[in-house]
């Protein structure tokens, strides 16, 4: 075993002790016998940490894997945090899970540990979407909650999203305190695994109904829906939790012609019909697009396994179905809702929307034109939720979202919500169709009014310990020697969110950034292009977000303008050598 570092070997030997169950020990022993040193190193070289999406990783034995013991340690640490934060109180939490392999098992482990710590659990008896968990936390007066999910990651992954009393994911300083409490669980003897059944209360359909009753109150175009109720909608849950709520939400809004992708409606953690269950990927929508073409649909919707993200496809002028990216869908939603609020004279100057620093600046332009404040947060919906909680009772939240296909309308939850989003995207489509237009035309109209913004995300995957070191080195290089020009345009501004500084590279003047520290670099050129570099908080990736813009004086020039912007993005990425 000389190929393993002594510290890693020590941890492996600890997990081979009788304190751990026989199945876990057998899995580790098998890797040992096979001399799978790289996998063993990756499984034990560090503890799983909370990132922007919580605890997430590959399932299997080890400290750096999702399993009974890492889930148990996280829950024991969270229990200790809640007990310390709310002394003498009867603490309540809510738990839900998605369709992933072992999600129901990990949810039960989570319930076991909470209940053994004297905490009352509202346990969704069947799989439910992430946003409904957030809603339940707020509705039931819980002090926290847990969602077992790895969102749109591959089937080998699972995860643990921890939520606070506001229904949002933990942010500083609470997230650091939770992490500290979890780190104190240095041996499994500290984890209380013995379930107290009396502390567990099952919930389900009654919460569904409360949630749907509140969603419908947000609708702004019911008359258009009544006239366009038979809008042809194709929907796929991609084997996830969306099947439990999206069809109900669309029906609640009044849509009567929803066509389900039958091959993908059964929840299945193996995701047998797709490579990745990610609605950002065209491949994941293959069956939905085929169905849409077959029935000449008006709209295609697809949600990820825990139904917090939604992918959208619409017809262009040639009758071809095209996928909208997250920035396009978010911009359309914001533009539609703000226009509706303006027409109903509901905008008083006290309203606001929220976006993120890596999402399109088109959002800011739309908000400015409507006299609505726009707050830009760090990446991760927990930061959007934090702004909403800080402004609750002071200002009116209308809508918000991020480029990674997550949106929220109204303040019912504190996380991205594909259930509400699907209903509103369908409503928006019905509204424009009622005017003799389409969602595609509405997008071109928006570009004509505010400018044609085009964004692209380039992700580079670097797996394991060596990959993490490579990503760290890339960020360090960009931080020390930022590019001077991109696509021939001078880089005039460098924003370093980890240092909390914004530097004018022409004058060398620096000012502070009023946001929490985050490992993000942003380069802004003299022609308005914005390029952001950011290691993912939930995946072994470094992400580059590129945003460019031009004018669109004529709709007929869309394709040519899009081609030019695409070439511009390619040139910028080449200059960055990524």
Residues in the chain: 578
DSSP string computed for 148-213? E--TTS-TTEEEEEEE-TTSSB--TTHHHHHHHHHHT--SGGGS-----GGGEEEE-HHHHHHHHH
Is the pLDDT at 371 greater than 50? The verdict is: yes
- According to DSSP, the β-strands at 55-58 and 157-163 are antiparallel
User: In which band, very low, low, confident or very high, does the pLDDT at 54 lie, cut at 50, 70 and 90?
Assistant: low
Q: Is the peptide bond before 173 cis (omega within 30 degrees of 0)?
A: yes
User: What order do you get walking across the sheet with 373-377 strand by strand?
Assistant: 373-377, 351-356, 396-402, 406-409
- Distance, in Å, from the CA atom of 239 to the CA atom of 456, rounded to the nearest integer, reads 27
Q: Lowest-pLDDT range, 211-215, 420-424, 533-537, 557-561?
A: 533-537
The verdict on whether 151 is a catalytic residue reads yes
Catalytic residue among 151, 438, 529, 532: 151
Q: Is the pLDDT of residue 120 over 60?
A: yes
Tell me what pLDDT residue 501 has: 97
Mean pLDDT of the chain: 95
Q: How confident is the model at residue 50 (pLDDT cuts 50, 70, 90)?
A: low
Band of the pLDDT at 411, cuts 50, 70, 90?
Answer: very high
pLDDT for position 537: 66
Q: What is the DSSP string of 433-462?
A: HHTT--HHHHHHHHHHHH-EEEEEEEEEE-
Q: What are the φ and ψ backbone dihedral angles of 523, each rounded to 5 degrees? A: -110, 130
pLDDT at 399 over 60: yes
Q: How confident is the model at residue 128 (pLDDT cuts 50, 70, 90)?
A: very high
Q: Which two tokens stand for residue 286?
A: 């293959």
Distance between CA atoms of 471 and 231, rounded to whole angstroms?
46
On whether the CB atoms of residues 242 and 418 are closer than 8 A, the answer is yes
**Containing H/E element for 541?**
strand 541-550
CB 403 within 8 A of CB 545: yes
Cα(184)–Cα(56) distance, integer angstroms: 19
Six-digit token string for 390 = 């800080």
The whole-number pLDDT of residue 1 equals: 41
The pLDDT > 70 percentage for the chain reads 98
Cα–Cα distance, 142 to 114 (Å, whole number): 13
DSSP state of 54: B
What Rg, from alpha-carbon coordinates, does the chain have?
24
Question: In which residue are the tokens 């013991």 written?
Answer: 69
pTM over 0.85: yes
CA proximity to 172, closest of 476, 419, 515, 447: 515
Q: List, as one string, the DSSP characters of 113-132.
A: HHHHTT-EEEEESS---HHH
Dihedral sign of CA atoms 338, 342, 343, 344 in order: positive
Section 507-528 average pLDDT: 95
Q: How far apart are CA 547 and CA 96, in angstroms?
A: 36
Can you tell me the mean pLDDT for 528-546? 88
Mean pLDDT, range 428-439, rounded to an integer: 98
The per-residue pLDDT for range 202-234, each reduced to its tens digit, is 999 999 999 999 999 999 999 999 999 999 999
pLDDT over threshold 60, residue 52: no
Give me the domains of the chain, ranges plus CATH numbers.
Answer: 46-203 (3.40.120.10), 210-450 (3.40.120.10), 452-576 (3.30.310)
pLDDT at 172 over 90: no
pLDDT value of residue 182: 85
State yes or no: pLDDT of 90 exceeds 80. yes
Angle, helices 205-216 vs 130-139, to 10°: value is: 90
Task: Give me 446's structure tokens.
Answer: 């928006």
Find all residues with CB under 8 Å of 304, minimum gap 6, and list them.
151, 152, 238, 240, 242, 277, 278, 279, 310, 405, 418
Mean per-residue pLDDT for 280-303? 97
Residues above pLDDT 90, as percent of the chain: 89
Query: Where do the H-state alpha helices sit in 34-129?
Result: 37-44, 68-85, 103-116
């Amino acid at each position: 075993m000389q190929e393993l570092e002594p510290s890693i070997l020590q941890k492996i030997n600890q997990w081979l002790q009788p304190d751990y169950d026989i199945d876990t020990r057998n899995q580790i022993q098998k890797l040992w016998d096979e001399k799978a040193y790289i996998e063993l190193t990756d499984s034990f070289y560090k503890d799983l940490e909370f990132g922007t999406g919580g605890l997430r990783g590959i399932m299997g034995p080890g400290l750096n894997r999702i399993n009974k013991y890492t889930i148990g340690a996280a829950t024991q640490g969270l229990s200790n945090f809640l007990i310390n934060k709310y002394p003498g109180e009867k603490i309540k939490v809510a738990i839900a899970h998605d369709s992933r392999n072992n999600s129901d098992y990990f949810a039960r482990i989570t319930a076991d540990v909470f209940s053994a710590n004297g905490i009352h659990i509202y346990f969704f008896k069947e799989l439910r979407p992430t946003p409904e968990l957030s809603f339940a936390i707020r509705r039931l007066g819980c002090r926290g909650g847990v969602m077992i999910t790895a969102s749109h990651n591959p089937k080998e992954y699972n995860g643990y999203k921890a939520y606070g009393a506001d229904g949002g994911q933990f942010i500083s300083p609470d997230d650091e305190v939770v992490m500290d409490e979890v780190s104190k669980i240095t041996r499994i003897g500290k984890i209380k695994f013995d379930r107290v059944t009396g502390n567990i209360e099952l919930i389900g359909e009654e919460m569904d109904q409360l949630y749907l009753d509140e969603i419908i109150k947000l609708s702004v175009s019911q008359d258009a829906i009544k006239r366009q109720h038979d809008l042809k909608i194709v929907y796929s849950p991609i084997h996830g939790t969306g099947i439990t709520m999206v069809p109900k939400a669309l029906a609640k809004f009044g849509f009567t012609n929803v066509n389900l992708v039958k091959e993908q409606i059964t929840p299945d953690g193996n995701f047998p019909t797709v490579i990745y269950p990610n609605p950002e990927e065209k491949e994941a929508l293959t069956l939905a697009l085929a169905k849409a073409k077959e029935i000449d649909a008006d709209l295609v919707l697809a949600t990820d396994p825990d139904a917090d993200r939604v992918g959208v496809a619409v017809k262009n002028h040639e009758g071809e179905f095209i996928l909208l990216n997250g920035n396009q869908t978010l911009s359309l939603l914001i533009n539609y809702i703000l226009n509706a609020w303006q027409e109903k004279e509901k905008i008083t100057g006290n309203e606001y929307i929220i976006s993120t620093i890596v999402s399109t600046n088109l959002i800011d332009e739309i908000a400015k034109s409507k006299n609505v404040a726009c707050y830009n947060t760090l990446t991760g919906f927990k930061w959007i939720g934090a702004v909403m909680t800080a402004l609750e009772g002071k200002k009116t939240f209308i809508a918000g979202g991020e480029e990674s296909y997550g949106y929220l309308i109204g303040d019912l939850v504190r996380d991205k919500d594909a259930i509400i989003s699907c209903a509103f995207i369908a409503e928006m489509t019905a509204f424009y169709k009622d005017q003799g237009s389409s969602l595609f035309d509405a997008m071109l109209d928006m570009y004509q009014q505010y400018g044609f913004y085009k964004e692209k995300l380039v992700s580079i995957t670097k797996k394991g310990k060596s990959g993490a070191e490579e990503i760290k080195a890339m960020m360090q290089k960009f931080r020390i020697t930022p590019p001077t020009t991109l696509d021939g345009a001078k880089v005039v501004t460098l924003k370093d969110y980890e240092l909390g500084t914004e530097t004018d590279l022409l004058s060398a003047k620096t000012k502070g950034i009023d946001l929490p520290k985050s490992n993000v670099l942003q380069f802004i050129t003299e022609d308005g292009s914005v390029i952001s570099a950011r290691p993912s908080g939930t995946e072994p990736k470094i992400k580059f977000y590129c945003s460019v813009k031009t004018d669109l004086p004529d709709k007929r020039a869309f394709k040519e303008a899009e081609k030019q912007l695409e070439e511009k993005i390619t040139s910028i990425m080449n200059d960055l050598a990524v």
